[in-house]
Chains A and B, each alone.
Chain A
Amino acid sequence: MFDRLSRRNFLQQTGIWAAAAAAGSLPRLAHAAREKELNIFCWEGYNSDEVLDPFRREFDATVRAEGLISDPDAINRLRAGEDNVWDLLNVNNPWAREILYPEKLIKPIPRDRFEPYFEKMLPQFHPPYHWAMDDGGTELLGMVQRFGPFSFVVNTDKISREMAEDQGFKLFLDPAMKDRYGVLTYDNWNIYHMCITADIDPFVKHTPEQIAAVGETARQIFNGAKLLTDDLAQMNLALINGEIDAYFTGGTYTASPARFDGATNVRGITPKSGPINGKGGIVWIEVTSVVNNPQVSPLAEEFLSYINRPEVSKAVAFAEGTYNPVTQMGNPEVMALFDEDELDAIQWDTLEEEMERSVDYDINPDYAEMYSLYAAAKRAREG
């Protein structure tokens, strides 16, 4: 048919193909109801089959989940139009209240349905919980579950916990530590921790001198580091094999896989003191919110209820990848599901004390300027 192609039969052909293509996409055009599908964009753990399969069976739903690798990246993708794709977004605490809700990228959830869950959580998460509420304190923006202190990690065979907690981040400026530590390049966290190293509160407006001091600290930290990587498995391997004795930026989240594997000398450390009202540790708390998707799935809210069930809370805490405490551990039914090794992997014995020494993760108003200095220090590193 194509050997004697003329414009007319070419146009017929393309017409047929175009019609077929349009027919294929009709369901999308017809605003298909999404009762049976749910798309989740989340930190690893919520995307594990252990968590999702029972939900799929119970609600007879197609659930797709994609793991994200950085909060800012996820926010970017939502801004770029993926708010039409996702139903649920799981990121760290400040984003929902300070960025996502003001930018209309997420929408509130009913307080009467979800606040009772907060009442069963660990005491510091009882309602109204700051990070789950909007600025006005009237709208509930999501559900909290995983959290953890996040400062740095040492090999306790080489550096005692006591000494690491006393020295805090100054440990990394000690000339004796040169080439004995790595930097886990979660850039936004690194900058917070470099502020603390420079005795500066990361969460307030800074003077030009302070910003320059953070840049100088970044230079010192990078020049003394043996390796940089954003892969926690690689970092733990280097720590266990003796390539390094500590790493800058890390906590329960990054130490737990190694600890659960038997390497209990890998330990997340929270400094005893620091520049943030006397505190030197930071704790992250994930908030899972319903995306402001024009065709949001009704299953989104069902999922937020579902993750509060004791066995699901446990599965989320111990999903593949990393292991973390969950706010639902305030509920004795949830606590009963953890065994001794699991509690040791997430450093449960010192969790309360570490939380007391920490402030909540927040947004750094001078992040952009500090980031330029940070990136320049990384590039100019004396490798």
Chain B
Amino acid sequence: MAAERSGDHVSWYRQAGMLCAMPVTIFFIVGFVGPLLMVLAYSFMPPRSFSLFQAPTLANYKAIIADSYYISFLWSFGLACVTVILLFAICYPIAYGMTKLFGRWANLITALIAVPLLISENIRLFGWVLVLVKQGVIDGGLQALFGVELSGMLYTVPAILLGLVYVYLPFMLFPLVIGLSMVPDSLKEAAFDLGANRWQVFREVELPLAMPGILIGGILTFVLALGSLAEAKILGGKAIIMIVDDIENAFTFGQNWPRGSALSVLLIVLSGLIVLFLFRRIDLDRIIGRR
């Protein structure tokens, strides 16, 4: 051991931290990275085969590009983008209120928003079905009270958006609250004193300082919405087909693991690129308050 203590330089694999981290690292590689590598490997296997020991081929990727999968990708990415924008517009005022105005009430609001998270997403979405369905809470209520009959509200793209916004609201709201709580009031006051108007303060002071929270909320909700399935199924009646639905069906009914794998790889790569691009702009250390 003397050798280890004498030199300032202990080779990396002998450092205590490294050694302590090793079991978890190995577990992580086997349990998390391993399956991803399997999926990657399968995506280069011949279509409809069930073995990893064949000559690799690009057939699955070619088939996906030649086929109409772009429709599902576009719908998934499009809905994810719209969801993020809507959530930002809805959550920003609430987060602002919770950090700056509501005082004691903020905790109550936090609890009200967090409690439904304890209930299964499918059950909550089915609750919306009962609200929106023909003869349901809205339609039946309006008929009984005013004799008005509405056309169907379910099984449409807006119904899917409603579901996405409803389910992923907390994932945008709480990072925004953290982001906005990082904006010191004194800075805003100083900006006003120096003659800035409301809009300038928002744009030049608030937004840049709260940006880490906004980006984290945006990334979280974007990735979750991109991989969502239940909203399109339960509220949308599959009015559109999400890419995850295509992946699931390729693995099950389609009996085509390689195609499902190739679709998964494409989805992971595309969303990964977007997330990486955004993460380069976040300074995690600053959020945690180390600087």
Q: CB within 8 A of A234: which of B4, B48, B234? A: B234
* Contact B255–A227 (Cβ < 8 Å): no
Please give the distance in Å from B220's CB to the nearest CB on chain A: 27
Contacts of A6 in B (CB 8 A): 1, 4, 16
Name the A residues within 8 Å of B188 (CB-CB): none
On whether the beta carbons of B237 and A227 are closer than 8 Å, the reply is yes
A interface size (C-beta, 8 A): 41
Answer yes or no: A120 CB below 8 A from chain B CBs.
no
A-B contact count (CB 8 A): 105
CA distance A3 to B134 in the complex (A): 66
The answer on a CB contact under 8 Å between B67 and A372 is yes
> B251 on the interface (CB 8 Å rule)?
yes
Query: A182's contact among B136, B237, B254, by CB below 8 Å, is which?
Result: B237
What's the nearest-Cβ distance from chain A to residue B132, in Å? Answer: 10
Instruction: Give the contacting residue for B19; candidates A5, A379, A380; CB below 8 A.
Output: A5
Is A242 within 8 A of B157, CB to CB?
Answer: no
Known A-B contacts A70-B252, A79-B50, A237-B129; A379 and B155 likewise in contact (beta carbons under 8 Å): no
CB of A237 within 8 A of CB of B157, answer: no
Query: Contacting chain A: which of B68-76, B89-97, B103-111?
Result: B68-76
B69 A230 Cβ-Cβ under 8 A: no
Residues 184-207 of chain A, each 1 if its beta carbon lies under 8 Å from chain B, else 0: 010110000000000000000000
Q: Which of B246, B253, B254 has the most CB of A within 10 A?
A: B253
A243 at the B interface (CB under 8 A)? yes
Find out whether the CB atom of B136 lies under 8 angstroms from the CB atom of A375: no
Contacts of B228 in A (CB 8 A): none
Query: Is A229 in the interface zone, CB < 8 Å from B?
Result: yes
**Contact across chains for B67 and A241 when beta carbons are under 8 A apart:** no
Interface size class of B (residues with CB under 8 A): 35 or more
Within 8 A of B (CB), among A78-122: 79-80
The verdict on B223 contacting chain A, using a C-beta distance below 8 Å, is no
- Interface membership of B135, Cβ < 8 A: yes
Question: Knowing A7-B14, A182-B237, A241-B134 touch, does A187 contact B4 (C-beta < 8 A)?
Answer: no
Residue A359, interface by CB 8 Å? no
| Closest beta carbon of chain B to A78's beta carbon, Å | 11
- Interface mask (A218-233 → B, CB under 8 Å = 1, otherwise 0): 0000000011111100
A242 to chain B, nearest CB (A): 5
CB contacts (< 8 Å) of B255 on chain A: these are: 72, 76, 368
**Measured between alpha carbons, how far is A383 from B67 in the docked complex, in Å?**
19
Q: List chain B residues, Cβ under 8 A from A242.
A: 134-135
B276 interface residue per 8 A CB criterion: no
A279 within 8 A of B: no
Offer 26 A-B interface pairs, CB within 8 angstroms, sorted by A. Answer: A2-B20, A6-B4, A7-B19, A73-B251, A73-B252, A73-B253, A76-B50, A79-B50, A80-B50, A182-B237, A185-B238, A227-B155, A227-B237, A229-B237, A230-B233, A234-B234, A238-B133, A241-B133, A241-B135, A242-B135, A368-B255, A371-B254, A376-B68, A378-B238, A379-B71, A383-B156
Measured CB to CB, the residues of A under 8 A from B are 2, 5-8, 10, 14, 17, 69-70, 72-73, 76, 79-80, 182, 185, 187-188, 226-231, 234, 237-238, 241-243, 368, 371-372, 375-376, 378-381, 383
By a beta-carbon cutoff of 8 Å, the part of chain B in contact with chain A is: 1, 4, 14, 16, 19-20, 23, 48, 50, 67-69, 71-72, 126, 129, 133-136, 152, 154-157, 233-234, 237-241, 246, 249, 251-257
Q: What are the 3 A-B residue pairs with the smallest beta carbon separation, nearest first?
A: A227-B237, A383-B239, A187-B253
